[in-house]
Amino acid sequence: MSVKSVFMLFSIFVVFSCIGKPSKEEKPSGLKSITKEAVTEIIKKVNGYWQTTHPKHGNAFWHPAAYHIGNLEAYKVTGIEAYKSYSLQWAEENQWMGAKSTNPQNWKYHYGETDDFVLFGDWQTCFQVYIDLFLLEPDSIKIRRAIEVMEYQMATPQNDYWWWADGLFMAMPVMTRLYKITGNEQYLNKLYDYFLFARDLMYDDESALFFRDAKYVYPKHKTNNGLKDFWARGNGWVFAAFPRVLEDLPQTNPHREEYLYIFRSMADAILKSQQPEGYWTRSMLDLKLAPGPETSGTAFFTYGMLWGINNGVLDELTYLPVVEKSWNYLIHSALQPNGKLGYVQPIGERAIPGQMINIESTADFGVGAFLLAAAEMLRYSESKSIASDR
């Protein structure tokens, strides 16, 4: 049965589904020791190490931008001004732009790291950061380029802008955030149009997971052991995209329930592939392909599940035990005493047999993913504290 058919059935019976948070009598027992103060100290440790060891700012490509997305979430929950200042300096040094070509006739959207690839989603990730900084302190210069680029893109007839799974995280939230600011419904209409292309290209109904791109679709591509090849970080990007979209998507949007349906379906599939130690392996269904822990995918999954719990979208009784194990992995195995975050797979697009990652393997996007998860953990701890005071 296709996702379209399943979604139609789901829509009919959605009024009977139980999607709220557990009642007081059903509260799970995990993570009782987690406090706002404890999580804040972890955020300060991880982010302090990163910013101290990276005083110079990088360009506005996807991986520095992914860090700054997490950094600003850390700012929102801690109020530490140094975090906002760090992202503000990065944005100013990059002139509030992604790829910097000013000639639309040269703009491209397939893979490219040069300034002509303005329409490539990896160069649009930075717009999320600029928009967040605008929402904190409005100034039109911060979002001028984002609006210019996205409105040009929406005026084109193409809908195949998001041809790789990562692109959903990189660009989907840009469109809902710009809708929130402008009220222009075209952002939401084009969002769904582009998402349909990505869904039909990469989403596997049976597994409720996304292939990284068309090269990896089964059975054309198989792992060395003949299995479907679902990359953990690739699915982490997708899973983490939905919360950032749903936060700004109107409750009345006709496609909201479909986004929620796929998000919940992915959550169930992700739950089933978690390892006893709390992490996810790089190949989610072929544990022998690239065994061992991986932090970036694990952090994105933790973020998505915590957001779902915090917002009544995922059942707390079901998903909190999963989060408890993954959080314990993140803070006790991946995190070093000095604040360095390890076991992050380097930049790539798949699980690579024989590729070695260890406690020294770190990256900006991995830290960003961790900070997203930590910010949601802090929000969870605050909600539990408020509930216990009543």
H helix and E strand count, the chain: 13, 2
Q: Name the token pair of 10.
A: 């789901």
Tell me if 214 sits within 8 A of 205, measured CB to CB: no
DSSP of 299-348, one letter per residue? HHHHHHHHHHHHTTSS-HHHHHHHHHHHHHHIIIIIB-TTS-B--PPPS-
Tell me if 69 sits within 8 A of 372, measured CB to CB: yes
166 is catalytic: yes
DSSP type of residue 33: T
DSSP of 195-228, one letter per residue? HHHHHHHHEETTTTEE-SBGGG-TTTS--TTSS-
Dihedrals φ, ψ of 345, to 5°? -65, 135
Catalytic residue among 122, 166, 213, 229, which?
166
Alpha helix stretches (DSSP H) within 155-209: 166-182, 186-202
* 61 contact partners, CB below 8 Å, separation of at least 6: 98, 113, 122, 123, 125, 126
Give catalytic residue positions.
166
